[in-house]
Amino acid sequence: MEVAFSDSEAFRSVQHVLQSVRMDPFLIDLRDKEQYDILLCAVDSTTRRSSDDQAMLATTLRALSEAVSKIDIMYHHALLHNIFTMSIWYYNRDTRDALLDLIIRLSAVADQYLRECLQMLVNNFTPPGPLVPQMEKRVSDDKRKEIYSQLHESLKMISDTVPLAPRVLKDIINRSMPKLFDNKVKMVSFVECMLGLGTERLGDLIGTSLLEKVVDLLTELDVNITWEDILQEEHSKGIFEMELEDLAGDVDKFGQETEVLFGGNVCAEKLDGLMVVVCKHLKSCAEHGCLKREFDILKTIFRKGVLKVHKSKFAQFIMFYACSLDPEICGLDFALFLTDIFTKKEDDAIARMSAVSYVGSYLSRARFISADTVVAILKRLVDWCIDHCERQKKKHTRTKNPVEHQIFYASCQAVMYVLCFRLRSIMDYPNLRSQVFKMNIRSILMDPLEPLKVCLPSIVNEFLRQAKAARLFNASVDLELEDRIDSDLSKAFGGVNRLDMFFPFDPYLLKKSDRAPNPRTAGHILYQKLLVILIPILFRPLFSRYVLNLHWAAHTVLIHLLFVLLISVKYVSSA
């Protein structure tokens, strides 16, 4: 009864103090002014409190909750400022509950404090500045999740009570989104808490906006990372001395070495942390049966933004991971989605070229996509190429200008690229093998447009090698095709920004999230990642001696050829 009496006394005292200062400052009794100043100190947001002090603060906050009707912005501005600048990260569960209850009640006051209350909650998506450097040490994972849960519940209650809240919240989140140069901990914490709103009713109201902002941030970080940041020459000696056998079964150790490869690149570290958060969010959606909804939103965002980003390196893997969580629905949907973009004449050339590069890389790397689906998509690509060749034959004047036929060449390359990775598995199924043999691939490769002389030589050579082994063409055709390989036209394909060297789902190199994008083939991708890193180092002396004067693109072609050949050796040896 003593505690109840003390709380009751506190409630009456707070109500009296609030009421006594609702007048002109010159008319306020000095004793009432002194009591109000004590109240301000009791809820001072800059004060750090012991457990006993927090108990007193919780009592004061509950008293203020009961006296919300007495609070007036005109007379209690300083009090409201203290409340709205408090950080729940410093308090225990009981004090946090009391503070959040006060915020919820204040938000319901008509036309008064809704925006300030929502802003206060959004500000608490991230720990306060002093806690950021020691976030991992001083804030346990359980406490962090508990705080996020309390914030989500508070925002849900406000949105249920105030119809205008979701719209205001959306605007506040848009304005509060982390910027490129913000601290990594702040960035990751904000996005993790924000994405948690997508699992609540609020997700139906503002989910699209939340995901769009996250993908925009991922893309912005991505474009600020160059391959020079990843493969730095000064670290080559340490990598060269690594033993392949030690790395093959040690993903965590490899992740530590990848950190060295980035050379402390801040954008890469931030992006890595965000990718982990986004993948966890998608996995949670899959576990709760709402992945398809998130995936449909991501498709729209991908189509509008990521698809046209020149040589995006990492952001697109959120699509890959979502597909791997539900191959039958999302995985198939994404393949058809990309193919539809490519085949639609209404879309611009850049989008169509990028789409066919994506579908080629996706079908090559996504082992969770069935061979049936791969063959079906290949048929659509081949049919489109045949139709393009037929249209060109009907024209009075024909040109082999690679730029004019860049979509055709990109499609031919995608077909060959997919078959480099999937032909062997397709040959294991008689019905699929028969379908591939019936595709008139030979006609498009031997067309006067000469795609074999324009597409990337490393892919052309590997495709012809595998096609010959699978007896995809007869011997005379094999020889004729080999005679058509390589030309200066390849270098002219798209100029410096050519898309024929864009393989968006090639091995993933971020250290913490490297196991997420394709959980079903982690070991295979680990091997590929190692090759991507080691090939330029192992063969640099050879390149320097014999091909020093070649254009940088030629070096890239040679490296890619070696990569494809070594992957093939690994694949054959494991079959």
Span 95-143, pLDDT tens digits: 999 999 999 999 998 778 999 999 999 999 999 877 666 665 567 788 8
> How many other C-beta atoms are found inside a 10 Å radius of the C-beta of residue 104?
20
Percent share of the chain, pLDDT over 70: 72
Please check the confidence at residue 462 and state whether its pLDDT lies above 70: yes
Nearest to 572 by CA among 433, 440, 439, 423: 423
Nearby residues of 288 by Cβ (< 8 Å), 6 or more positions away: 199
Q: Are 406 and 493 in contact (CB under 8 A)?
A: yes
Structure tokens belonging to residue 539: 């063969």
Q: What is d(CA 152, CA 168) in angstroms, rounded to the nearest whole number?
A: 15
* Higher pLDDT pick, 244 / 377: 377
Question: What are the φ/ψ torsions at residue 67 (nearest 5 degrees)?
Answer: -115, 25
Ranges of H-type helices in 162-265: 165-176, 184-196, 202-223, 227-230, 236-240, 244-248, 251-261
Please check the confidence at residue 443 and state whether its pLDDT lies above 50: yes
* Higher pLDDT pick, 419 / 268: 419
Helix axes 332-343, 291-304, angle to 10 degrees: 30
Question: What are the φ/ψ torsions at residue 487 (nearest 5 degrees)?
Answer: -170, 160
Is the sign of the CA dihedral 412, 417, 420, 426 positive or negative?
A: negative
3-class SS of residue 139: coil
Question: What are the φ/ψ torsions at residue 454 (nearest 5 degrees)?
Answer: -115, -35
pLDDT band at residue 547 using 50, 70 and 90 as cut-offs: very low
pLDDT band at residue 395 using 50, 70 and 90 as cut-offs: confident
How many Cα atoms occupy the beta-carbon half-sphere of 64 within 13 Å? 28
Residue type, 307: L
pLDDT band at residue 347 using 50, 70 and 90 as cut-offs: confident
Q: Compute CA 564 distance to the chain's CA centroid, rounded to the nearest angstrom.
A: 27
Q: What is d(CA 512, CA 164) in angstroms, rounded to the nearest whole number?
A: 39
Nearest to 364 by CA among 415, 316, 321, 439: 415
Nearby residues of 30 by Cβ (< 8 Å), 6 or more positions away: none
Q: How far is CA 448 from CA 253, 392, 400, 445, in A?
A: 51, 10, 8, 9
> For residue range 167-222, what is the model confidence (pLDDT) as tens digits?
999 999 999 999 988 989 999 999 999 999 876 666 677 878 889 999 999 999 99
> For residue range 160-176, what is the model confidence (pLDDT) as tens digits?
999 999 999 999 999 99
> How many other C-beta atoms are found inside a 10 Å radius of the C-beta of residue 98?
21
Q: Are 439 and 384 in contact (CB under 8 A)?
A: no
Ranges of H-type helices in 67-164: 77-84, 93-107, 114-123, 135-138, 141-161
Q: 2 — alpha (psi -120 to 50), left (phi > 0) or beta?
A: alpha
Q: What is d(CA 472, CA 416) in angstroms, rounded to the nearest whole number?
A: 12
Question: What are the φ/ψ torsions at residue 370 (nearest 5 degrees)?
Answer: -65, 155
